[in-house]
């Protein structure tokens, strides 16, 4: 019974704690997401958003708690290509000598042989992904020559090429142009219809209201979690942002 219950959730994080050399970054955090759900991860800088992502991708080990991805361990999820991570633009070395095609192809590495030789299916997956983010004209453009929005779309294409069922996006709307923002919004709706689960961190409260079915407010631990309409209240936001009024975050008209 218990196991069947797990299977219903794409992400099931239970009381997870992460510490870096004894310094607690996240404690007693819980999150359960089903297929087709979009969840916003909201918190201040240093509240543990990136740590949460790192724990879900297995990039850091959790010191306590349990994470199940599609009912399996994080390691199995890595092998199954279940999770794709779209980094912040700032987290990437823009001068690295790779072009759009190379980056998107990296999404297929986990499915390839040890030499990472692309098969016809990999090439097709990369082409399709690049087409979906509208970068077909930039296949061989080095990432250093792309705009912030184009670069964001490149990494989104990498996640699409990976064909993961869960997408983790770190600040998907920061530093992007209107065109990219519109394209990402459209993709979110498509992903939702495809049954993908999305967890995105953002500073932009308007985007949370616009896209997210659920919201997870964190400040080292979960402050509030649930349906956006219920949880995204001025009181909860104030306690998440250490006493800062939501008027300051949304603007007075909100």
- Pairwise CA distance, residues 184 & 153, whole Å: 8
Among 35, 65, 87, 148, binds another protein (CB under 8 A): 87
Q: By rule CB under 8 A, what string of x and - marks binding of each residue 7-26 to another protein?
A: --------------x-----
Among 64, 79, 119, 131, binds another protein (CB under 8 A): 79
Specify the residue, 71 or 142, whose C-beta has the smaller distance to another protein: 142
Specify the residue, 27 or 109, whose C-beta has the smaller distance to another protein: 109
Does 104 interact with another protein (rule: CB under 8 A)? no
- Pairwise CA distance, residues 107 & 155, whole Å: 9
Specify the residue, 18 or 223, whose C-beta has the smaller distance to another protein: 18
The stretch among 3-11, 82-90, 128-136, 240-248 that binds another protein (CB under 8 A) is 82-90
Q: By rule CB under 8 A, what string of x and - marks binding of each residue 110-139 to another protein?
A: x---xxx-----------------------
- Pairwise CA distance, residues 164 & 46, whole Å: 27
- Pairwise CA distance, residues 69 & 30, whole Å: 13
Among 4, 45, 93, 120, binds another protein (CB under 8 A): 93
Q: By rule CB under 8 A, what string of x and - marks binding of each residue 35-64 to another protein?
A: -------------------x--xxx-----
Residues that bind another protein (CB under 8 A): 21, 54, 57-59, 75, 78-79, 81, 83-85, 87, 91-93, 96-99, 102, 106-107, 109-110, 114-116, 140-142, 144-145, 158, 162
């Amino acid at each position: 019974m218990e196991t069947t219950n797990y299977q219903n959730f794409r992400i099931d994080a239970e009381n997870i704690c992460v510490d870096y050399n004894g310094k607690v970054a996240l404690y007693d955090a819980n999150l359960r997401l089903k297929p087709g759900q979009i969840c916003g991860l909201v918190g201040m800088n240093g509240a543990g958003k990136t740590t949460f992502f790192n724990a879900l991708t297995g990039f850091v080990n959790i010191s306590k708690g349990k994470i199940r991805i599609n009912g399996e361990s994080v390691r199995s999820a890595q092998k199954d290509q279940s999770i794709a991570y779209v980094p912040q633009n700032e987290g990437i070395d823009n001068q690295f000598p790779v072009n759009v095609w190379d980056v998107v192809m990296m999404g297929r590495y986990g499915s390839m042989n040890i030499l990472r030789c692309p098969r016809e299916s990999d090439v097709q997956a990369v082409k399709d992904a690049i087409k979906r983010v509208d970068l077909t004209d930039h296949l061989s453009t080095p990432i250093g020559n792309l705009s912030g929005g184009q670069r964001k779309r490149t990494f989104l294409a990498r996640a699409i090429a990976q064909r993961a069922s869960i997408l983790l996006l770190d600040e998907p709307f920061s530093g992007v142009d209107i065109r990219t923002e519109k394209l990402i919004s459209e993709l979110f709706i498509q992903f939702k219809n495809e049954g993908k689960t999305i967890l995105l961190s953002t500073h932009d409260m308007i985007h949370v209201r616009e896209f997210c079915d659920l919201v997870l407010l964190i400040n080292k631990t979960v402050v509030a979690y649930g349906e956006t309409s219920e949880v995204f209240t001025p009181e909860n936001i104030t306690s998440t942002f250490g006493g800062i009024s939501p008027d300051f975050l949304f603007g007075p008209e909100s």
